[in-house]
Amino acid sequence: MTSPGDSGGRETWPLWEVFIRSSRGLSHVHAGSLHASDETMAVRNARDLYTRRAEGVSIWVVRASDITSSDPDAKGEFFESPQGKEYRHATYYTESEQVPHL
Amino acid sequence: MNHSNHVVSSAITPESIADSSLVAPEAVAQYALGLGDDALVLAHRLGEWITNAPELEEDVALGNIGLDLLGHARSLLTYAGTAWDKSEDDLAYFRDEPEFRSHQLFEQANGDFAATIARQLIASVYFAALYRALSESADATLAAIAAKAVKEVDYHVDHSAQWLQRLGLGTEFSRERMQAGLDSMWPFVDELFREDRFVAGLDGIAVDPQTLRPVFDAAVPRLIVEAGLEVPTVAAARGGGRSGIHAEAFGPMLAELQVLARAHPGASW
């Protein structure tokens, strides 16, 4: 498994992934990444880099090395197996005339 | 249309001041000019860090703080200029060194990153106390400029305090550099809180800087000690920035700030 942003230790500060919630009721969405000495400074750097134009009301940061991601080389078995399995979608089924409230 | 009301909103801008029919009273303009110069000079010093900070992220952080300060300078100089039919650019680019009223702290050369953080901590705590008090000013425009600035400078205090702590409690080397930074900037603290002749006669409008000293003394020494550092005991510098007396480093800085506008008057893009 690989971690996003792994550059082989050339950076002096660790990499952080930034998630911004744009307004109340919405989810935090990945905005980008940045370097910071620690988590407290990462939140501040995120504020400076990603919320200058009032883009957010909340910031999450996660150390990139703490993220476990799917293997890009395993795309086939991970993401292509649902192909041809249209019955997994609700739209595959036809509406029964006798069943109300669908 | 009544122009004087809409500039009193929380989102005051230099443009809204310039577009209004406001004319600052002479004494208020003289006072605003000094405050505007403080912000302008420090903004320029922070701008010198762009491409030179320890990391790209810190480039942006210092640049952001500089831009906030430039915003304060623009509003204050625009408002001051209404008294003399001058624009913010007239005041920023076409005054000579002795006409600048900025306190000497702000023109101090950046030094290393720790020295810049020391300067910024002192400056930000001063600005936060000043603008908090000025937001109660009987002059609605000064109050609106200050109210907008408070939120920004509160963040600047936090930024400097975070770095003070990290450098002070980091390695032996970073602690030494941070202490040296504090020692190099501390002589210029006293000037910020001395009697200011431009405040005289502006009761309820301007903020007497002497009243801000307790706020500074309650905040900064504690932060320094918490960061494992020592409050400097160096002697105060002579000061005189408000009277146009500046350190040697000020001239070259001002030349860089003004050269483009003077070489190409009226240029825009």
Nearest-CB residue to B61 (from A38, A40, A45)? A45
Q: What is the pLDDT of residue A95?
A: 80
| % pLDDT > 90, chain B | 92
Q: Nearest CA of chain A to the CA of B255: how many Å? A: 29
Lowest average pLDDT, out of B14-18, B42-46, B218-222, goes to B14-18
Three-class secondary structure of residue B212 per DSSP: helix
* Residue B3 pLDDT exceeds 60: no
pLDDT the model gives residue B23: 95
Mean pLDDT taken over chain A: 86
CB proximity under 8 Å: A 21-40 to B: 34-38, 40
pLDDT-derived band at B6 (thresholds 50, 70, 90) equals: very low
B228: left (phi over 0), alpha (psi -120 to 50) or beta: left
- Cβ distance A13 to B55 less than 8 Å, yes or no, reads yes
Q: Which helix (H) or strand (E) holds A16?
A: strand A15-21
Of A35, A38, A52, the CB nearest to B57: A35
Residue A16, phi then psi, degrees to nearest 5: -125, 140
Contact between chains at A48 and B57 (C-beta distance less than 8 A):
yes
Residue B218 in this model has a pLDDT that exceeds 80: yes
Disruptive mutation site among B10, B50, B55, B64 for chain A (greatest number of A CBs within 10 Å): B55
Judged by CB atoms closer than 8 Å, whether chains meet at B57 and A40 is answered as no
Task: Give dist(CA B44, CA B254) in Å, integer.
Answer: 9
% of chain B residues with pLDDT over 70: 96
Q: Tell me whether residues A34 and B159 touch, CB distance under 8 A.
A: no
Would you list which residues of chain B are within 8 Å, Cβ to Cβ, of chain A? 55-58, 60-61, 64, 155, 158-159, 162, 166
Minimal Cα–Cα distance from A27 to chain B, Å? 25
Confidence of residue A77 (pLDDT cuts 50, 70, 90): confident
User: Which chain A residues are Cβ-neighbours of B61 within 8 angstroms?
Assistant: 44-45, 48
Contact B57 A37 (CB under 8 A): no
Higher local confidence (pLDDT), B191 or B268: B191
Q: Give the integer Cα–Cα distance in Å for B214 and B241.
A: 22
pLDDT single digits (tens) B88-107: 999 999 999 999 999 999 99
Going by their DSSP bridges, the two strands A58-63 and A28-35 should be labelled as unpaired
- What is the number of CB-based contacts under 8 A between chain A and chain B? 29
pLDDT at A93 over 90: no
Q: B11: pLDDT confidence band, cut at 50, 70 and 90?
A: confident
